[in-house]
Structure 1
Amino acid sequence: MTKVEIFDPALCCPTGVCGPSVDPELTRVASSIFFIEKKGLDIKRYNLGTEPSMFVENEKVNQLLHEKGTEALPIIMVNGEVVKIGEYPTNAEFATWFGMEEESLKAEKSKNRLDVEFK
Protein backbone atom coordinates (compact mmCIF):
# COMPACT_ATOMS: atom_id res chain seq x y z
CA MET A 1 0.00 0.00 0.00
CA THR A 2 1.26 3.47 -0.88
CA LYS A 3 2.24 5.79 1.95
CA VAL A 4 2.52 9.53 1.28
CA GLU A 5 4.04 11.93 3.80
CA ILE A 6 3.94 15.70 3.47
CA PHE A 7 6.37 17.76 5.51
CA ASP A 8 4.93 21.28 5.60
CA PRO A 9 6.60 24.54 6.55
CA ALA A 10 5.38 26.08 9.81
CA LEU A 11 1.71 26.83 9.19
CA CYS A 12 -0.89 28.25 11.54
CA CYS A 13 -3.40 25.93 9.84
CA PRO A 14 -3.12 23.37 7.01
CA THR A 15 -6.17 24.59 5.10
CA GLY A 16 -4.87 27.95 3.94
CA VAL A 17 -7.99 29.80 5.09
CA CYS A 18 -6.45 31.47 8.12
CA GLY A 19 -4.52 34.72 8.16
CA PRO A 20 -5.09 37.82 6.08
CA SER A 21 -5.52 36.04 2.74
CA VAL A 22 -6.60 32.59 1.57
CA ASP A 23 -3.94 30.41 -0.08
CA PRO A 24 -5.80 28.47 -2.79
CA GLU A 25 -2.95 25.96 -3.14
CA LEU A 26 -3.14 24.98 0.55
CA THR A 27 -6.91 24.78 0.28
CA ARG A 28 -6.63 22.43 -2.73
CA VAL A 29 -4.07 20.24 -0.96
CA ALA A 30 -6.15 20.06 2.25
CA SER A 31 -9.22 19.11 0.21
CA SER A 32 -7.32 16.40 -1.70
CA ILE A 33 -5.91 14.98 1.53
CA PHE A 34 -9.42 14.92 3.02
CA PHE A 35 -10.72 12.83 0.08
CA ILE A 36 -7.69 10.52 0.21
CA GLU A 37 -8.11 9.95 3.95
CA LYS A 38 -11.84 9.35 3.44
CA LYS A 39 -10.93 6.43 1.16
CA GLY A 40 -8.82 4.94 3.97
CA LEU A 41 -5.52 5.49 2.18
CA ASP A 42 -2.24 6.19 4.00
CA ILE A 43 -1.38 9.88 3.88
CA LYS A 44 0.21 11.89 6.68
CA ARG A 45 0.93 15.57 6.97
CA TYR A 46 3.44 17.10 9.40
CA ASN A 47 3.72 20.78 10.34
CA LEU A 48 7.18 22.11 11.20
CA GLY A 49 5.66 24.53 13.70
CA THR A 50 3.79 21.90 15.71
CA GLU A 51 5.63 18.62 15.00
CA PRO A 52 9.34 19.50 14.70
CA SER A 53 10.40 16.07 15.97
CA MET A 54 9.07 14.45 12.78
CA PHE A 55 11.46 16.62 10.74
CA VAL A 56 14.43 15.78 12.99
CA GLU A 57 13.72 12.05 13.16
CA ASN A 58 13.38 11.57 9.40
CA GLU A 59 16.97 11.44 8.12
CA LYS A 60 16.15 12.41 4.52
CA VAL A 61 14.00 15.39 5.57
CA ASN A 62 16.57 16.46 8.16
CA GLN A 63 19.36 16.33 5.57
CA LEU A 64 17.37 18.38 3.05
CA LEU A 65 16.63 21.01 5.69
CA HIS A 66 20.34 21.24 6.55
CA GLU A 67 21.28 21.54 2.86
CA LYS A 68 18.51 23.85 1.60
CA GLY A 69 16.89 25.32 4.71
CA THR A 70 13.15 25.82 4.95
CA GLU A 71 13.05 26.68 1.22
CA ALA A 72 12.98 22.89 0.69
CA LEU A 73 9.52 22.71 2.28
CA PRO A 74 7.15 21.21 1.58
CA ILE A 75 8.96 17.91 1.18
CA ILE A 76 6.89 15.07 -0.24
CA MET A 77 7.79 11.44 0.37
CA VAL A 78 6.19 8.38 -1.22
CA ASN A 79 6.98 5.03 0.40
CA GLY A 80 9.97 6.57 2.21
CA GLU A 81 11.52 8.22 -0.85
CA VAL A 82 11.63 11.96 -1.51
CA VAL A 83 9.68 12.66 -4.70
CA LYS A 84 9.10 16.40 -4.53
CA ILE A 85 10.82 19.37 -2.88
CA GLY A 86 9.58 22.92 -2.45
CA GLU A 87 6.08 22.47 -3.88
CA TYR A 88 2.92 20.53 -3.21
CA PRO A 89 1.78 17.58 -5.33
CA THR A 90 -0.74 18.16 -8.06
CA ASN A 91 -4.02 16.27 -7.95
CA ALA A 92 -2.71 14.22 -10.88
CA GLU A 93 0.32 13.18 -8.81
CA PHE A 94 -1.86 12.24 -5.83
CA ALA A 95 -4.07 10.20 -8.18
CA THR A 96 -1.09 8.40 -9.72
CA TRP A 97 0.48 7.54 -6.37
CA PHE A 98 -2.76 6.14 -4.99
CA GLY A 99 -4.05 4.53 -8.21
CA MET A 100 -7.23 6.58 -8.32
CA GLU A 101 -9.01 8.90 -10.69
CA GLU A 102 -7.99 12.55 -10.45
CA GLU A 103 -11.66 13.56 -10.55
CA SER A 104 -12.24 11.79 -7.22
CA LEU A 105 -10.08 14.44 -5.53
CA LYS A 106 -12.33 17.32 -6.48
CA ALA A 107 -15.16 18.45 -4.27
CA GLU A 108 -18.59 17.89 -5.71
CA LYS A 109 -20.71 20.97 -5.82
CA SER A 110 -23.86 20.64 -3.81
CA LYS A 111 -27.01 20.29 -5.88
CA ASN A 112 -29.15 21.40 -2.96
CA ARG A 113 -29.72 25.09 -2.70
CA LEU A 114 -30.49 26.65 0.58
CA ASP A 115 -32.86 29.56 0.39
CA VAL A 116 -32.47 31.88 3.33
CA GLU A 117 -34.75 34.78 3.89
CA PHE A 118 -33.42 37.69 5.93
CA LYS A 119 -35.78 39.98 7.74
Structure 2
Amino acid sequence: MTPNNISTIRPINKGLLIKRMLLGGAIALAVISLFVFGGEADPAWPTYWRIRPLIITPLAGAAGGACYYVIDQHLLNQPGWKKGLAIVLSILVYIIGLWMGIVLGLDGTMWD
Protein backbone atom coordinates (compact mmCIF):
# COMPACT_ATOMS: atom_id res chain seq x y z
CA MET A 1 0.00 0.00 0.00
CA THR A 2 1.48 3.34 -1.04
CA PRO A 3 0.67 6.47 0.94
CA ASN A 4 -1.06 9.26 -0.95
CA ASN A 5 0.13 12.80 -0.49
CA ILE A 6 -3.04 14.88 -0.23
CA SER A 7 -1.41 17.89 1.39
CA THR A 8 -2.70 21.26 0.22
CA ILE A 9 0.34 23.14 1.50
CA ARG A 10 2.34 24.66 -1.33
CA PRO A 11 6.11 24.30 -1.23
CA ILE A 12 8.08 27.45 -0.51
CA ASN A 13 9.77 28.96 -3.54
CA LYS A 14 12.94 30.15 -1.79
CA GLY A 15 14.16 32.22 -4.72
CA LEU A 16 10.93 34.19 -4.98
CA LEU A 17 10.74 34.60 -1.19
CA ILE A 18 14.27 36.01 -1.09
CA LYS A 19 13.52 38.39 -3.97
CA ARG A 20 10.41 39.72 -2.21
CA MET A 21 12.30 40.14 1.06
CA LEU A 22 15.20 41.93 -0.64
CA LEU A 23 12.82 44.24 -2.48
CA GLY A 24 10.92 45.02 0.73
CA GLY A 25 14.17 45.70 2.59
CA ALA A 26 15.51 47.91 -0.22
CA ILE A 27 12.35 50.02 -0.29
CA ALA A 28 12.51 50.37 3.50
CA LEU A 29 16.19 51.35 3.37
CA ALA A 30 15.43 54.02 0.78
CA VAL A 31 12.58 55.44 2.88
CA ILE A 32 14.51 55.52 6.16
CA SER A 33 17.54 57.03 4.40
CA LEU A 34 15.41 60.03 3.50
CA PHE A 35 14.71 60.61 7.20
CA VAL A 36 18.15 59.77 8.59
CA PHE A 37 20.32 61.65 6.10
CA GLY A 38 17.85 64.43 5.39
CA GLY A 39 17.24 65.52 8.99
CA GLU A 40 19.35 67.40 11.44
CA ALA A 41 20.93 65.61 14.38
CA ASP A 42 20.45 66.84 17.91
CA PRO A 43 23.70 67.05 19.92
CA ALA A 44 21.98 65.20 22.79
CA TRP A 45 21.60 62.06 20.67
CA PRO A 46 24.26 59.34 20.79
CA THR A 47 27.16 59.51 18.34
CA TYR A 48 26.07 56.59 16.17
CA TRP A 49 22.31 57.16 16.29
CA ARG A 50 21.91 56.50 12.55
CA ILE A 51 22.89 52.82 12.81
CA ARG A 52 19.76 51.68 14.62
CA PRO A 53 17.19 52.96 12.10
CA LEU A 54 19.34 51.78 9.19
CA ILE A 55 19.23 48.22 10.58
CA ILE A 56 15.76 47.92 12.09
CA THR A 57 13.72 49.49 9.28
CA PRO A 58 15.09 47.30 6.45
CA LEU A 59 14.50 44.23 8.64
CA ALA A 60 10.88 45.30 9.06
CA GLY A 61 10.67 45.89 5.31
CA ALA A 62 12.03 42.39 4.65
CA ALA A 63 9.43 40.95 7.02
CA GLY A 64 6.78 42.87 5.11
CA GLY A 65 8.13 41.39 1.88
CA ALA A 66 7.85 37.91 3.38
CA CYS A 67 4.24 38.64 4.38
CA TYR A 68 3.58 39.76 0.82
CA TYR A 69 4.97 36.45 -0.44
CA VAL A 70 2.72 34.44 1.88
CA ILE A 71 -0.40 36.41 0.96
CA ASP A 72 0.56 36.22 -2.72
CA GLN A 73 0.96 32.45 -2.63
CA HIS A 74 -2.40 31.85 -0.96
CA LEU A 75 -4.73 34.44 -2.42
CA LEU A 76 -3.35 36.08 -5.55
CA ASN A 77 -4.15 33.13 -7.82
CA GLN A 78 -7.81 33.24 -6.82
CA PRO A 79 -10.34 34.62 -9.31
CA GLY A 80 -12.41 37.77 -8.92
CA TRP A 81 -12.56 39.88 -5.81
CA LYS A 82 -10.13 37.69 -3.87
CA LYS A 83 -7.26 38.82 -6.11
CA GLY A 84 -8.08 42.49 -5.45
CA LEU A 85 -8.35 41.77 -1.73
CA ALA A 86 -4.94 40.06 -1.80
CA ILE A 87 -3.29 43.05 -3.46
CA VAL A 88 -4.86 45.58 -1.06
CA LEU A 89 -4.11 43.40 1.97
CA SER A 90 -0.49 42.89 0.88
CA ILE A 91 0.11 46.61 0.43
CA LEU A 92 -1.60 47.43 3.73
CA VAL A 93 0.45 44.86 5.67
CA TYR A 94 3.67 46.15 4.12
CA ILE A 95 2.87 49.80 4.88
CA ILE A 96 1.97 49.02 8.50
CA GLY A 97 5.14 46.96 8.94
CA LEU A 98 7.24 49.70 7.37
CA TRP A 99 5.68 52.32 9.64
CA MET A 100 6.35 50.17 12.71
CA GLY A 101 9.97 49.70 11.60
CA ILE A 102 10.42 53.45 11.16
CA VAL A 103 8.96 54.12 14.60
CA LEU A 104 11.15 51.47 16.26
CA GLY A 105 14.25 52.66 14.41
CA LEU A 106 13.80 56.34 15.15
CA ASP A 107 12.54 55.90 18.74
CA GLY A 108 14.55 58.11 21.07
CA THR A 109 15.92 60.33 18.31
CA MET A 110 13.70 61.78 15.58
CA TRP A 111 10.59 59.98 16.86
CA ASP A 112 10.48 61.31 20.41
Greater C-alpha radius of gyration: 2
Higher helix fraction: Structure 1 or Structure 2?
Answer: 2
Structure 2 length-normalised TM: 0.29
Higher strand fraction: Structure 1 or Structure 2?
Answer: 1
Structure 1 length-normalised TM: 0.28
